């Protein structure tokens, strides 16, 4: 069994952002030399997500609006977590909806994706350096 471990770092200018990381993951799959296996990609921070969906700007705006409706940032006093001095309780909730991780099949040396699948980093409490791990195992 072969494996590859790599870390990506993000530091978004805005509190919330969606970043397409598909091509970075594809390069790592090729670097690994693994032909058949699994590729785990997960946020290492608990106010961020890695998820798979459409690379369409309007949809990302819909996600932003929808997540803000389901778990509003303001008023920050509505969350007990924010009594610790944080203001990011909503980001912990939003990340549960969008998920921490994706596991992707590797077939014949590439991500085995449907026609519209793209991998995104979802940031809900940015403006600081945060990491994503890519772990690939297989043969």
Find the helix or strand (DSSP H, E) in which 93 lies.
helix 89-98
The residue within the footprint of a second copy, chosen from 93, 123, 124, 125 (CB under 8 A), is: 93
Specify the residue for token string 């997540």. Answer: 67
Distance of alpha carbon 81 from the chain centroid: 22
Is there binding between residue 76 and a second copy (CB under 8 A)?
Answer: no
43: CB partners within 8 A, 6+ apart: 49, 50, 95, 100, 101, 121, 122, 130, 132
The residue within the footprint of a second copy, chosen from 10, 89, 123, 124 (CB under 8 A), is: 89
Is there binding between residue 138 and a second copy (CB under 8 A)?
Answer: yes
Enumerate binding residues for a second copy (CB under 8 A). 1, 3, 5, 36-38, 40, 42-46, 51-54, 56, 58-59, 61-63, 66, 70-71, 79-84, 89, 92-93, 95-105, 107, 112-117, 130-131, 133, 135, 137-139
């Amino acid at each position: 069994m072969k494996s590859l471990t790599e870390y990506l770092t993000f530091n978004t200018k805005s509190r919330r952002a969606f970043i397409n990381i598909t091509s970075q993951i594809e390069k790592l799959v090729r670097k690994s030399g693994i032909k058949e296996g699994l590729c785990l990609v997960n946020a290492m921070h608990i106010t961020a997500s890695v998820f798979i969906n459409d690379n369409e700007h309007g949809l990302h705006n819909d996600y932003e609006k929808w997540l803000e409706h389901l778990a509003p940032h303001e008023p920050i006093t509505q969350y007990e977590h924010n009594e610790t001095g944080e203001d990011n309780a909503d980001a912990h909730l939003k990340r549960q909806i969008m998920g921490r991780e994706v596991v992707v099949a590797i077939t014949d040396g590439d991500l085995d994706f449907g026609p519209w699948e793209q991998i995104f980093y979802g940031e809900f409490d940015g403006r600081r350096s945060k990491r994503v791990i890519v772990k690939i195992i297989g043969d």
